[in-house]
Amino acid sequence: MKKSFFEKVLNKTNKQDIDQWFGENSEIKVTEFSHSISQKKNILSVKLYPSNYEYAIELFPEGLEILILHTIKSLSLPEDYILTTSIEH
């Protein structure tokens, strides 16, 4: 799966929650989406660009992880992954 497709699904299917939790017009960028053959896991790195940093930091990283997990489940992807998250100030 391409990271651009995952990013689009992540932002569109969770738009209401993203706006409510991190501020209107916040965005999540997928910086890496790959598979490690040696570890037999997906690797997913995402960065949150909140419009309201002060509010968003209260829900980071748990809120972001919930949205990512929801997207993984909705796409029927294996849930065995290595996740790294970051937030832009």
Query: What percentage of the chain exceeds 90 in pLDDT?
Result: 82
Structural domain count, the chain: 1
- Per-residue pLDDT of 54-72, as tens digits, reads 999 999 999 999 999 999 9
Report the sign of the C-alpha dihedral through residues 3, 77, 41, 38, in that order.
Answer: negative
Q: 35: domain range? A: 3-87
Q: Provide the 3-class DSSP secondary structure of residue 80.
A: coil
Q: Which residues contact 42 (CB under 8 A, 6 or more apart)?
A: 33, 34, 35, 36, 77, 78, 80, 81, 82
Q: What is the CATH number of the domain that holds 68?
A: 3.30.300
Q: Are 25 and 43 in contact (CB under 8 A)?
A: no
